[in-house]
Amino acid sequence: MAKRKMILDLDTGIDDSLAIAYALGAPDVDLIGIIGSYGNVLVEPGGQNSLKILELLGHTDIPVYLGESHSSTSDHFDRMQVSADIHGENGIGQVELPDPKRSIEKESGVDFLIDAVHKYGKDLTLVPTGPMTNLAAALKKAPEIATEIGNVTFMGGALTVPGNVTAYAEANINQDAEAANAVLTSPLHSTMVGLDVTLRTLLTKKETQQWRDLGTVAGEKFADIVDYYIQAYVDVNDNLGGCALHDPLAVGVALDPSFVTTIDLNMVVNYNKETYGRTIGDDNRLNDPTNVKVSVAVDKDRYLKTFMEYLTALFKKN
């Protein structure tokens, strides 16, 4: 059992599933729970997808909790069509997996996070790969966790490249810019793994074929899931040559920060109409002590090598 503990906050689509696999495959951390969010899918189907992936990978011991079902400024969530196009209607590339034997936990994901921070403190790492709604709610309910938690590494934002849902906004931040701004302007220290680095970290069908060649159920299913994702990327942007490893890169950086080069920056998130969801340096805090490390370059070859080692070893067993 590892000293270091991890919680994933996911809107479980395809790259979120890869993030789960990376966390399970990493030898130096224990995944102690998953919090469900909205984005790629609605919160309830996303939670079910997390349970299905955990069961596929032989980890029915890990609980899944549901977080907030919509943004902090709305009363409902409407899934964008582009999310269905990229992740499939079911969120996992239209691949059918058995209904999970384990049920969603009754405790709220926000309360689970707060309790875990109080229990594990600096040994706890949180990786949000969807909107910041759950984390912002936890900080509002229990502000002390901002300085108690050991590591927060989130997938979201775009500093040096355009957004992927508007010219300014990356999808996760765009789902709840107000919550993201509350997090980034709080005392919490975090690392941003945004489009600046995730779009350089690509997986191709060469790698998914290696999983097929294992001859295991997990290898075949993950190859099917990710091949759907790769094809979706071809349809949307065939210049990349593969699918971006958005969410699993955030898990990788949380465990090994040397995968990326960062700059220290105090950040704000715009939530006016024209630039909603833009992540940018805060000109009111330029000379203050900084609380965000922004990833701007990535050692993509070393990361991909580690990614394939972890996931291939995991898929061999299942």
Provide the residue ranges of all domains of the chain, joining segments of one domain with +.
Answer: 4-316
pLDDT per residue of the chain (318 residues) written in tens, 0 to 9: 889 999 999 999 999 999 999 999 999 999 999 999 999 999 999 999 999 999 999 999 999 999 999 999 998 998 888 887 889 889 899 999 999 999 999 999 999 999 999 999 999 999 999 999 999 999 999 999 999 999 999 999 999 999 999 999 999 999 999 999 999 999 999 999 999 999 999 999 999 999 999 999 999 999 999 999 998 888 776 666 788 999 999 999 999 999 999 999 999 999 888 899 999 999 999 899 999 999 999 999 999 999 999 999 999 998
Active-site residue flag, 78: no
Of 140, 161, 198, 188, the residue nearest 280 (C-alpha): 161
Q: What is the pLDDT of residue 238?
A: 63
Catalytic-role residue among 9, 11, 176, 227: 11
Q: What is the pLDDT of residue 80?
A: 84
Structure tokens at 273: 């109409």
Task: Return the CATH number of 4-316, one of 3.30.420.40, 3.40.50.300, 1.25.40.10, 3.90.245.10.
Answer: 3.90.245.10
Which residues, 6+ apart, have CB-to-CB distance to 87 below 8 Å?
Answer: 13, 14, 40, 41, 93, 229, 232
Helix (H, G, I), strand (E, B) or coil at 60: coil
